[in-house]
Structure 1
């Protein structure tokens, strides 16, 4: 008998974009004809040599449609809702659950009216040659309506973002796909065949991985894991003892004294941290789904590799767009918040890379959150402000953080214009750091309307170019000016951005 299964991401109550071409995929008997019908369309395709198929449909402008997928004598029926669909991806701060956020109980007490649904991509870490998955107890993914009972398991950032979109569009059907995993480099989210085309990424990620696992057997990996777990347990014990002796000290300040949880764990062939690992086990689960927009919040775990992050991030966006069959998929990059406990300027360099990519790639926006964060806690628990900001920018006519653009730069002065802003608002001292002939100095800028003026001569100028940011310049909507470093002799992307 013919088999016919739709991919997991089409199970439950799927939401697809209204008015945009889309695909429905699954598995059936190899090399067999598959027919899809619905919304006055009939489309056909043939499955490949292992039985995978993908049906492409034209845009639908009705909010709810029944579809029928047929292969030989087997029929599968699916009801699809149409609205706006958002992909939220990255590492731990976008994974951070609503139930763990500072405002969870407040949200339950005044739960918003939502016609919103979400699909959480199962966090599969490894699949062996026999198809066995790790973790072995992972439940299948399924679309479900967002309710007070299940919202706590969602990304807090994603929840507040779509709550804001829903507030502004009460009749809109919203779909959210969460695809994230904490502690990960962007290299884990790229396929190995793509990484191998970039020599710098091979040197930085592929070769160290191969060196870390070379010549080791299961006993070696088990021994390394035991040692790692022992170090984590020792750290947790020290942290617990310190907090018991100092109950009024915050977790953030406690970690400043005791140190942070040891990370990363030792590398091994089954680790989700391996290059290409999560692309193979997670991203493939959402291909070839269709989205209206994507949000990428990551970079913390690439603080050791800021010099290649521009290339890494640009490659990730172009690769995901290609695999999702959407070269113009809008992507919003989250410019990292304030956080001190990293090597000098590591997060500043990551933010600079995020800004570069946003300026260099079409349909990429930057959402800066440098006015949020915790000095010593890499996982701040207040996610509401961030989520609401993302929701407003995803849904509004203005899609990006205020970004400086050089208007004039001479030996007498630098004039920076901030397009799309009527009036810049200064909160505190508008301080910039300048570099001239190798000497660093600080100057106070003059802010007039949407212009920033610095009357001095220098080779480089930077704003909030440090790990722990304390921004002082905002637009009229309280959005912070993007953190940036500018170099006089460079004119990259029309802004003069330097590494």
Structure 2
């Protein structure tokens, strides 16, 4: 419940999950001049006090072990806020774009999973969705205050992130604690959207997102002109999208070029300006910052598709984002678990080999930044579908990363990851981490290796497995120097670890 003057941040509600074994941050606002400047917060047997400063307040409760349900009260001595059914457990934030956003009910077997959700999970896994608001509209705070934590029931969990659902289900089952997810994601968003303008200004490459925004927005003579353009676009899009849906309903295999020929050219995502969800720094302000610094165990993050237009700088963007989020949560050690992009290409689309560059940057980020993990899912992509429906395995592989890196469990969390190479007389020997047990080949043969000499002109290569090493060669390259594997937007995935997790995309030299 809320009150007239005293308010806690919208992310606090009945059924919430608070992070175990860490100091618990609570914060909020005070509308008018307080009669009593002291706020008292009680949770179970813990009590703390804080003062109101310029209309805001914050406090920390001492760490607690997993348990509950508990009741929390927040009072100024006149007004009291009470929250019930609070559990102490594990809390993660699920960030990213559409593949993190994709709803459980829309995923593979999702409707059946939702309808038959295990009743024992009802209070064991919980979810809070940050409302998708792209700017501070007149009803921004009303919409935000209407949100709350949800229990897992057939009536609620269908709209949860599918990846996050399977991730927290694995955690809750294995750790035997209540797990809560804060969903903070929006389809079609660049990493720049989830990073503050101040951080984007730090580097000339990341600053290009701001420069391009200013250039596009400056084409409007006024804010009112921009708003009129948004209204026109919204009306057009509603009609256009209906036509598109009708075309696909009639012919699911219709070519995208034919769809646009009939329905009209795609104008998504619309005019760029202060209301646009895709403007740099926008959702950082209107979504991420609204739940910061809610005490967490860590982040899971599935994003990168929208940045394939600038693949060479994605590593910088990802490092900036991780630094920003950890700084906002005042913890440089917060775990950050990435989902590496899968195989994907649209029908009629040229393979620009920009997605393997994104995958490479994701892997390098994992290998060079402390307390990060990576779920390799190259085998879970779909041709002509940027939103692959298999999300259960994505969540499971993320959970394996959490068990391995965060909870100290000895689990097979990785497939083979390239380590180094030795140049032989007419072949290249490759060595790998997480391949002590050797490799698993799916299909009739190993596909995806290419080899090149000093000219860096790659040709298809033969790969031979010898224990935990792979030898790559080609009759066309007598003096080999470089190897790459699955350096393509979309292609077959044939090499795995014995645990069924695929080998990640790699190249032996980043300049070749």
TM beyond 0.5: yes
Q: Which residue of 2 aligns with 1:394?
A: 402
- Cα deviation for residue 57 of structure 1 reads 2.6
| Aligned residue among 448, 459, 463 for 2:466 | 448
Change (3 A) 1:444 1:24: same
Q: CA RMSD in A?
A: 2.8
Residue in 1 that maps onto 2:74: 69
Alignment of 1:193-342 (within 5 A): 193-202=198-207, 204-214=208-218, 215-217=220-222, 218-223=224-229, 226=232, 230=236, 233-234=239-240, 237=243, 240-241=246-247, 243-244=249-250, 246=251, 249-250=252-253, 254-255=255-256, 258=259, 262-341=267-346
Inter-partner Cα distance in structure 2 for 1:411 and 1:46: 73
Q: Is the counterpart of residue 121 in structure 1 residue 136 in structure 2?
A: no
TM-score (norm 1): 0.87
Tell me the secondary structure at the aligned position of residue 48 of structure 2: strand
| 2:504 is the counterpart of 1:482 | yes
* 1:471 equivalent in structure 2: 493
Per-residue CA deviations over 1:244-296 (Å, capped at 9, x if unaligned) read 2x4xx44xx64375369543322122111111000000001111111113110
Alpha-carbon spacing, 1:262–1:164, altered in 2? closer, same or farther (3 Å)? farther
Residues of 2 paired with 1:238 and 1:403: CA distance?
A: 41
- Structure 2 matches for 1:21-100, cutoff 5 A? 21-28=23-30, 32-38=37-43, 40-49=45-54, 51-64=55-68, 65-79=70-84, 80-100=86-106
- Please give the TM-score of this superposition, normalised by the length of structure 2: 0.85
Contact 1:339 1:468 in 2 (8 A): yes
**Residue 235 to residue 16, structure 1, CA distance change in 2 (3 Å):** closer
Count, aligned residues: 479
Q: Which residue of 2 aligns with 1:9?
A: 11
The structure-2 alpha-carbon separation of the partners of 1:133 and 1:3, relative to structure 1 and needing over 3 Å to count, comes to: closer
Secondary structure of the residue aligned to 2:198 is helix
Query: How far did 1:235 drift?
Result: 6.8
Alignment partner of 2:508: what SS? strand
Q: Is the 8 A contact 1:232 1:261 kept in 2?
A: no
Instruction: Give the Cα–Cα distance (whole angstroms) in 1 for the partners of residues 235 and 414 of structure 2.
Output: 42
| Deviation sequence 1:20-60 (CA, Å, 0-9, x none) | 222111113679333334455443333332x2222123321
8 Å contact from structure 1 (residues 30, 52) kept in 2: no
User: Cα 1:427–1:208, aligned 2, differ >3 Å: closer, same or farther?
Assistant: same
The alignment status of 1:424 with 2:432, answered yes or no, reads: no
Alignment-derived partner of residue 354 in structure 2? 346
Q: Say which of 172, 180, 186 aligns to 1:175.
A: 180
Tell me, yes or no, if the aligned pair for 2:423 and 2:481 is still in contact at 8 Å. Answer: no
1:158 to 138, 143, 164: 164
State the shift of 1:163 in Å: 2.3
Question: How far apart, in 2, do the equivalents of 1:20 and 1:275 lie?
Answer: 32
Secondary structure, in 3 states, of the residue corresponding to 1:471?
Answer: coil
Question: Could you tell me whether the CA contact under 8 Å between 1:236 and 1:261 is conserved in 2?
Answer: no
Greater shift, 84-93 or 101-110, is seen at 101-110
Q: Which runs of 5+ in 2 are unaligned?
A: none
Whole-Å Cα distance in 2 between the matches of residues 388 and 256 of structure 1? 36
Instruction: Please state whether the residue corresponding to 1:11 is helix, strand or coil.
Output: coil
> Could you tell me how far 1:209 is from its partner in structure 2?
0.5
How far is 1:19 from its partner? 1.4
Aligned counterparts of 1:224 and 1:61: Cα–Cα separation in 2: 49
